Amino acid sequence: WWFYRLQPQFWLCLLLALAFAALVNLNPGSIDAQPEKALLLRHSMLLMSIQPLLLAVLAPLAFCRDGQHGISALIDVSAQSLRQRLAVRATGLWLTAMAMQLIFLVMVALVMSKGLADSSCIWRWSLILLLVQQVPAITLLVALFLWLSRHSQSPLALYLQGAGIWLGYMLLAAATGSPLMANSQSISPLLSQLMLYLDLYALSPLLAQLQQQGAMPAGLLQLEMTFWLNRLLVVSIAAWLCWRALRPGTSALPQPEQRRRTLSMRSAAQSAAANVLLQNQTQGQYQPCPPGALTFWPVFRGLIQLQWQQLCWQRSTLLALLALCGLIFSEVYTGLGYAEHFSQLLPNS
């Protein structure tokens, strides 16, 4: 907390997350005969749309700050071991995410209990969802960022992982006909069946039980075995990732001695590359051109071609285009058989 509270990035993320949660809960809508279902959807929406991005922004502050500020060698010789440092930082990140989730929980429960004669069920189910849905999901997300930070000290990798989790779950929710995604329908029964066990946020098994029984279970003991298998799988994967990340000797990052050797070899390679580049330049790779010989359209066409080549060959650009194509395909394909109220798919004439 003493470290995070001094980071402007932390406060900016906090304000943006609270603003988004307030906008989501600004209009609670009509509470139907199943307020527990509306509560489940509201908690799941905040969990899936905020936590992956929030953790992706805060994870570099927790795991990559030593390398970013060039003090890795100083931190390595401290009395605290690498495993202890990673455990403390992962715990701090998990506590920060859980504190944000508690704020969301209170906010949603207050909004959903407004206008109800007996709001005890809202608060009881909010606590149940916190324990069995949100805590395992946030634990797995933190474990994923911890594991990736042991293999890459680049903040961009953590950002891409958070964006991939966020967008990937939205695509899966649209492909399985989740009520969180408007106008979506299931495209494969096999995929819907797999999501009962692989759903990170356990929304699919809860909605399946609600559809079968017609009402939410009264307590934890009434939850089906599919839900508990889903939670057991999520917790097991989180524990395995933490074990892999905290196990000594498994990191792909260089140790202090190896880091010094790598830096010396890299500097030698950079100097050699600079000499080769200087030789190429002196051999006439770049020919002088007087200003009078320049024409507008060839230069402009060359600049446009250079910019397009630099843009299209960036890996982040290709990943963003691929994700955009997947999102458009999912939205269009899952909405082919959907028609608004008082509308029809096939015309009369």
The CA distance from 338 to 349, in Å, is 19
Is the CB of residue 40 less than 8 Å from the CB of residue 129?
yes
Per-residue model confidence as pLDDT tens digits over 39-65: 888 888 888 888 998 999 888 888 877
Distance from C-alpha of 180 to C-alpha of 58, rounded to nearest angstrom: 26
**Model confidence band, residue 234 (pLDDT cutoffs 50, 70, 90):** very high
Selected residue with higher pLDDT from 66 and 95? 95
In three-state secondary structure terms, 186 is strand
Half-sphere exposure of 295 (CA within 13 A, CB side): 3
**pLDDT for the residue numbered 142:** 93
pLDDT band at 76 (very low <50, low <70, confident <90, very high): low
C-alpha 19: how far from its chain's center? Answer: 18
| Burial status of residue 265 (CB atoms within 10 A of its CB: 0-12, 13-18, 19 or more) | exposed
Instruction: Please determine, for residue 318, whether its predicted confidence score (pLDDT) is greater than 90.
Output: no
Q: Are 148 and 157 in contact (CB under 8 A)?
A: yes
Average pLDDT over residues 76-99: 83
The beta-carbon contacts of 185-188 under 8 Å, at least 24 apart in sequence, are 185/334, 185/335, 185/337, 185/338, 187/333, 187/334
| pTM (two decimals) | 0.74
Closest C-alpha among 42, 39, 46 to residue 17: 46
Structure confidence at residue 265 as a pLDDT band (50, 70, 90): low
pLDDT digits (tens, 9 = 90+) for 137-177: 999 999 999 998 888 878 888 888 888 888 888 888 888 87
